[in-house]
Amino acid sequence: MKDNFVNHLRPRFISDRALSVYYTFCLGGLSFLAFLMLGITGILLMFHYQPGTSSGFSSVLTIGSVIPYGSVIRNLHYWSAQLMVVTVNLHMVRVVWTHSYKPPKQLNWLVGVGLLVLVLVLDFTGYLLIGSQESGAAATVAANLLKQIPGLGTALAQIALGEPTALSGSTLIVYVWHCVALPLAAFWLQLYHFWRIRRDGGVRPL
């Protein structure tokens, strides 16, 4: 059964042209690699990070200064996130460049757009969790933007951000979105994204 499952992960054949690095530059793969890295370092950071408008920033400082190897892990997390935003955007540019959004891949393009939004929101919530004054300003702007939506706005801001102060964007609610809900959604959507590539005929010039 194990052999069966592992063998099903691989396609029956791959065309030579699909293996060309210069066609995709492996930007999606790099993004996924960054995502895995973010997952691993993120779980490690959760062991020492304490969300909250008063504790967030100081625990980030503690991780970065006194916890052994904490600054390595935090920097891996931070730079993987920066890398992922860059590679995801380049990946999108590549897909447009090679016309890979056209039928039969139109659904996967939409999935990709969803993933792009998820990655950007993850990046933003990560920025809020640093808990610095800048994050407080960013959270305030985001909350005020959401509150502009008539009717639902106030509730939406509460659900998305909790009650950040102008001095720190780190709240328990942002923490749960960033560490549990959004990564899980992004992970399953990515698996679907990859499966869809095979389903739509694999990577190949149309």
Residues that bind another protein (CB under 8 A): 44, 47-48, 50, 59, 62-63, 66-70, 72-73
Nearer to another protein, 49 or 127 (CB): 49
Q: How far is the CB of 76 from another protein (least distance, A)?
A: 11
Nearer to another protein, 72 or 141 (CB): 72
Q: How far is the CB of 64 from another protein (least distance, A)?
A: 11
Q: Which positions ≥6 away from 175 have C-beta within 8 Å?
A: 49, 51, 129
Q: Comparing C-alpha atoms, which of 86, 107, 114 is closest to residue 28?
A: 86
Q: Comparing C-alpha atoms, which of 181, 14, 206 is closest to residue 109?
A: 206
Residues 12 and 30: their CA atoms lie apart, in Å, by 24
Q: How far is the CB of 58 from another protein (least distance, A)?
A: 9
Q: How far is the CB of 63 from another protein (least distance, A)?
A: 8
Nearer to another protein, 42 or 70 (CB): 70
Helical packing angle, 182-199 and 106-129, nearest 10°: 160
